[in-house]
Chains A and B, each alone.
Chain A
Amino acid sequence: MKVKVLFFASLREQLGTPGEEIELPGGVTTVAALRSHLRGRGGAYERALAEKVLVRAAVNQDMVQPSTKLKAGDEVAFFPPVTGG
């Protein structure tokens, strides 16, 4: 299935892209699995999405937990903890 992935703030800068549409391999069905799939690309992805790095995620613009299931067409955003206000 295809999902739209977005990156914000320091993650966007580290990865050098605001996001992309990607076709997920079978088995990548949750937010956590997607993160680990992206980490598997190595390089900047491995560093920016390393397990020890605090990364938040939103699916269709709602903050979610790593266990959240994905479906085709979802907009999945990864970003650092927010610092507004």
Chain B
Amino acid sequence: MKISVQEQDFDLSSETRALSKDKAVGAIASFVGVVREVPMTLEHYPGMTENSLKKIVEEASERWKVADCTVIHRYGALQPGDQIVLVAVASAHRGDAFDACEFIMDYLKTRAPFWKKEHRAEGAQWVEARAGDDKAAERWQK
């Protein structure tokens, strides 16, 4: 398991290649979040951020057959088009990889302590949490 909260960018292909070394891995599902339209600054809670991501990945590993997993989340100043987050899950088969990847993203959105501040022409503004994100996380509790 690799969890990294970092300022610098990441490379999807080298991260997924690192997950396919285990011969039992037959599927890698990945998600990359990208900054849309507006420059932003991402703040986080050092320590708690890493702990919460670790717990989310552990929970996913209890629910699905996860061979390995990488979560990278950036913080600091980001421009439109920049990558923000990577979740990549390796498993024997695609079903587990897809589900665990989506679960980790949904939980990350509502539980990992990150906050976005958008820098618009009319001024800087903290992004408000979306009710849809809570709903997305809740559906895994059924």
Which residues of A approach B to under 8 Å, CB–CB?
6, 8-10, 54, 58, 61-63, 77, 79-85
Which 4 pairs show the lowest CB-CB distances between chains A and B? A84-B114, A81-B129, A9-B115, A61-B48
* Cα separation A9 to B45 with both chains bound (whole Å): 9
How many residues of chain B are within 8 Å of chain A by beta carbon? 28
> In whole Å, how far is A27's beta carbon from the nearest beta carbon of chain B?
27
Specify which of B51, B73, B126 is in contact with A61 (CB 8 Å cutoff): B51
Q: Which residue of chain A has its CB nearest to the CB of B31?
A: A85
Q: Is the CB of B45 within 8 A of A61?
A: yes
Specify which of A9, A62, A80, A84 is in contact with B112 (CB 8 Å cutoff): A84
> In whole Å, how far is B60's beta carbon from the nearest beta carbon of chain A?
15
Q: Is the CB of B52 within 8 A of A8?
A: no
Contact mask B32-61 → A, CB, 8 Å, 1/0? 010000000011110110011000000000
Q: Is the CB of A82 within 8 A of B48?
A: no
Knowing A9-B43, A9-B115, the reply to whether A82 touches B110 (Cβ < 8 A) is: yes
Residues of B99-131 at the interface with A, using a CB-CB cut-off of 8 Å, are 105, 108-117, 126-129
Q: Is the CB of A79 within 8 A of B45?
A: yes
Additional A-B contact list (12), CB under 8 Å, known A61-B45, A80-B115, A84-B116: A8-B113, A61-B47, A61-B48, A63-B111, A79-B115, A80-B129, A82-B129, A84-B42, A85-B84, A85-B108, A85-B109, A85-B114
